[in-house]
Amino acid sequence: MVSPLCMLRAQAPTESRSVWDGVYTEEQAKRGEPVYHKECASCHGDMLAGGESAPALTGGAFQANWNGLTLGDLFDRIRKTMPQSGPGRLTRQQDADVLAFMLSINKFPAGKTELYRQSEMLKEIRFESKKPASKN
Amino acid sequence: MENLIFVCLSLALSLVPAIASAQYRPKDTEWPSYTADVAGTRYRPLDQINASNFSDLEIAWRIKTDNFGDRPEYRLEGTPLMVNGVLYATAGSRRAVIALDPETGELLWIHGEHEGKRGGAAPRQLSGRGLAYWSDGKEGRIFYVTPGFRLICLDAKTGARVPSFGENGVVDLKLNDDQEIFPDLETGEIGIQSAPVVAKDTVIVGAAFREGMTPRSMRNNKGYVRGFDVHTGKRLWIFHTIPKKGEFGYDTWEKGSAEYTGNTGVWTQITVDEQLGLVYLPVETPTSDFFGGHRPGNNLFGETLVCVDLKTGERKWHFQLVHHPLWDMDISSAPILADITVDGKPVKAVAQPSKQGFLYVFDRVTGKPIWPIPEKTVEVGNVPGETYSPTQPIPTKPSAYSRNGVSIDDLIDFTPALRERAKEIASKYHLGPVFTPPTVSKLEGPLGTLTMGTASGGTNWPGGSYDPETHTVYVYACNACIEPIGLVQAPKEVSDISYISGTAGREVEILRGPGENAGADSPKPPKKRASGGFVRMEVDGLPLIKPPYGTITAINLDKGEIVWQIAHGETPDVVRNSELLKGMNIPRTGQETYSVGTLVTKTLVIAGEGQVTTTADHPRGAMLRAYDKATGKEVGAVYMPAPQSGSPMTYVVHGKQYIVVAVSGGPYSGEYIAYTLPSAGE
């Protein structure tokens, strides 16, 4: 008989993944776009280019900030401190959808599974600004 | 070190009325004002830390600001003060004031104001940029302005509010402002981030508002400047940056637009010549950064440097840097007071750095430009309903120290292929030199005017530094902060302004500043689906504009000439690691951040990087760099775990020199870090 613990383990990703592995879906990014515009664009710009009061969410400086960290780190930062006028106002699902939209704008590839909304799952996905050589 | 006075004794002291006596004279080893002194120099004649040992600096102490408010802050912009053996700073998401031991970083006291809804609704949140100190030689006071726009006076020894100031230590800045703040005191939009300035017995406060790119209305509260008595909090004077009817300049707002237009505050640092009793006010843009159709006329005193009397607030002279502003060229930093020698004659001057990359230099007594600033013909636009100034003042000397227009020649050119791709992107926009007007955004082009030296370009709030020994201004500028400015019609339910910032084909959204309660009563944007216009200002991740991306420039004020200019900041990872540029020897490019401040000492210009990089020499982080102030040659660097987000300061305690800088950004929450030389024997 398979113990529940074994089943849990079987669900956890066994290979290390990065933002280049298709970690969100196009559908999810499309869901996240209007949420971004309503909640985030006011400071971060409708092109994610940032402004005087908030940094860009795309481009070299943004990627340098998170390179080597995980999506869980970025997700928790969003979840706990954004939007600045009311942190924690968005649901985990909304945060995940917004993050998916951000990943799509940063030109990380979409895939078949949606971006998780659990921090511990997102901590398994590395943010790497440089595309690995094995992917084309 | 002075014994710290604990609660009982300090309470007794604070009850003693302040007696006017010998004026308090700060020492060269202290940092008693946000910009070191009220002249805006960011300079200290210290050189224990110098070229021979800068790279040996170690962290003396550090303090995170996470728990000084209800949540961590990721944008710590403060510059602390060090006076009378205590370091004072604003910190944390509620803008508390902390007092620290300057040698160990030990927390001595903390004071935080809980402002509830009023704080939550504030247009300018988090810990702000700093505070002010006053002393008469007997008593010391700390002044700062909360996010909810209240001027607080604290006893410098205990951190307790001084009951005799205002109402129990508080002056409500939303009151007694010659206007009724609408819609109400709690949610009415007005606030500030900069430090108040104390000169003699006056404390001076400006005002700030939300981002002005897509305002909801042509009407807004106004940003007057006020001087208060440091003892009682009584309002001594007010200067109307938008003139009232009958006042000089009212007619520069045609069709009665001075009545309803707002903003036009002084949100950045104010400087004072205490001897002459003159105050220098750098004024920002009026309501609606990029469209002025509802405020025809030159709009005095928007984007104007104004000199007023310290005692009365009466205007002595003014010079408008931009007529009928359309580019969000707020005067963004402290006007620097410099005593120089021009053509053999001594001059009391004021030098104003700017977003547009000009350093405007005037006689600070008369307001006369030191070198001619003639009116030059500029391009006039054709946005419906807009009026344009046919000329703008452009300094002849010194020459521009950062890019303020966009031409094909400014585009990336590491390779011909990259240049071609950049030209393709640029072809979607209208290009031109400084003061090229914004255009209506059209799907078929132009999407807008491509600009540099506007909203986020050039020199921003950290401003410059001034070396009184060599009469040299040192100033950081973003040299690649590109800003496309296009206008779209705003539906009535979004804004009552005809045109606001936007891109054709994309949803029209109100760009609100941080801190707005974007709750259920905010208007819903129209459902215009994006069919085009998402243009990135980059080519394969590389910046659209060619290096240098960020610079530090040394400008000699006796001659009005640039002495040296260097790229400040390690080449960004995306450029260094780019496959497209493999094998190319690209000199250091500097970084395109706009909020880097400099510190000048006896021998060094010191500034940290505003961006994170990961190199062979250091893990993810940023470097605090020191340059020889005579030549610009880098002489040392130390590691910071995060970018510099507040301007550095320096002081000496017990014979040891320290440098303190605020770092934060990305995943790294706010922290003040103090550096010092290793102890002898280490």
How is chain B split into domains, by residue range? 7-516+534-676
Instruction: Quote the crossing angle between the two packed helices A71-81 and A92-105, to the nearest 10°.
Output: 120
**What is the value of ipTM here, to two decimals?**
0.85
| Interface contact A61, partner B, CB < 8 A | yes
The model's pLDDT over A59-117, given as tens digits with 9 standing for 90+, comes to: 888 999 999 999 999 999 999 999 987 888 999 999 999 999 999 999 999 999 999 99
**Residue B186 near residue B120, CB atoms below 8 Å:** no
pLDDT confidence band for B386 (50 / 70 / 90): very high
How is chain A split into domains, by residue range? 27-126
The model's pLDDT over B495-533, given as tens digits with 9 standing for 90+, comes to: 899 999 888 877 555 554 444 443 344 444 433 333 344
| Interface contact B637, partner A, CB < 8 A | no
| Interface contact B612, partner A, CB < 8 A | yes
Closest residue by Cα to residue A106 from A52, A61, A68, A136 = A61
Read off the pLDDT of each residue in A20-42 and give the average, rounded to a whole number. Answer: 94
Question: Which residues of chain B neighbour A73 with C-beta distances below 8 Å?
Answer: 667
Residue that has been written with the tokens 């060229």 in this structure: B329
List, as ranges, residues 506-535 from B with C-beta within 8 Å of A: 506-507, 509-519, 525, 534-535
> Is the predicted pLDDT of residue B473 greater than 50, yes or no?
yes
Residue B324 CB partners (closer than 8 Å, separation 6+): B292, B295, B296, B297, B298, B299, B387, B388, B389
Question: Which residues of chain A neighbour B611 with C-beta distances below 8 Å?
Answer: 60-61, 64
Read off the pLDDT of each residue in B74-87 and give the average, rounded to a whole number. Answer: 97
Closest residue by Cα to residue B511 from A50, A42, A37 = A42
pLDDT for the residue B208: 96
In this complex, the residue of A39, A54, A67 whose CB is nearest that of residue B518 is A39
pLDDT for the residue B10: 44
| Interface contact A111, partner B, CB < 8 A | no
The model's pLDDT over B409-431, given as tens digits with 9 standing for 90+, comes to: 999 999 999 999 999 999 999 99
CA angle B448, B449, B451 (to 5 degrees): 135
Chain B's closest residue to A74, CA to CA, is B667
Helix (H) or strand (E) holding A39: helix A26-39
Beta-carbon separation of A61 and B512 below 8 A: no
Best probe of the B interface among A35, A57, A63, A65, by most B CBs < 10 A, is A65
Question: What b/e sequence results for B48-63 when a residue is b if at least 16 CB atoms lie within 10 Å of its CB, and e otherwise?
Answer: ebbbeebeebeebbeb
List, as ranges, residues 213-272 from B with C-beta within 8 Å of A: 213
Question: Which residues of chain A neighbour B481 with C-beta distances below 8 Å?
Answer: none
CA atoms within 13 A on the CB side of B601: 25
Question: Which residues of chain A neighbour B125 with C-beta distances below 8 Å?
Answer: 84
Question: Which residues of chain B neighbour A84 with C-beta distances below 8 Å?
Answer: 125-126, 514-515
What percent of chain B is modeled with pLDDT above 70?
Answer: 92
Instruction: Quote the tokens at residue B620.
Output: 């993810």
Question: Which residues of chain A neighbour B613 with C-beta distances below 8 Å?
Answer: 64
The domain made up of B7-516+534-676 has a fold known as Methanol Dehydrogenase; Chain A (2.140.10)
Read off the pLDDT of each residue in B9-33 and give the average, rounded to a whole number. Answer: 62
Question: What b/e sequence results for B105-127 when a residue is b if at least 16 CB atoms lie within 10 Å of its CB, and e otherwise?
Answer: beebbebbbebeebbbbbbbbbb
> Is the predicted pLDDT of residue A8 greater than 50, yes or no?
no
Question: Which residues of chain B neighbour A85 with C-beta distances below 8 Å?
Answer: 120, 512, 514-518
Beta-carbon separation of A47 and B535 below 8 A: yes
Helix (H) or strand (E) holding B482: none
- ω into residue B183 within 30 of 0, thus cis? yes
Question: Which residues of chain B neighbour A66 with C-beta distances below 8 Å?
Answer: 666-667
> Is the predicted pLDDT of residue B169 greater than 70, yes or no?
yes
Beta-carbon separation of B211 and A45 below 8 A: no
Say how many C-beta atoms besides its own lie within 10 A of residue B276's C-beta. 15
| Interface contact A83, partner B, CB < 8 A | yes
According to DSSP, the β-strands at B472-478 and B391-393 are: unpaired
Chain A's closest residue to B610, CA to CA, is A61
Q: What is the CATH number of domain A27-126?
A: 1.10.760.10
In angstroms, the separation between the Cα of residue B663 and the nearest Cα of chain A is: 13
Question: Which residues of chain B neighbour A49 with C-beta distances below 8 Å?
Answer: 537
The model's pLDDT over B254-301, given as tens digits with 9 standing for 90+, comes to: 999 999 999 999 999 999 999 999 999 999 999 999 999 999 999 999
Read off the pLDDT of each residue in B371-378 and give the average, rounded to a whole number. Answer: 98
Beta-carbon separation of B620 and A67 below 8 A: yes
Q: Higher confidence at residue B29 or residue B506?
A: B29
Distance from C-alpha of B632 to C-alpha of B442, rounded to nearest angstrom? 44
Chain A's closest residue to B574, CA to CA, is A60
Instruction: Quote the tokens at residue A97.
Output: 């959808």
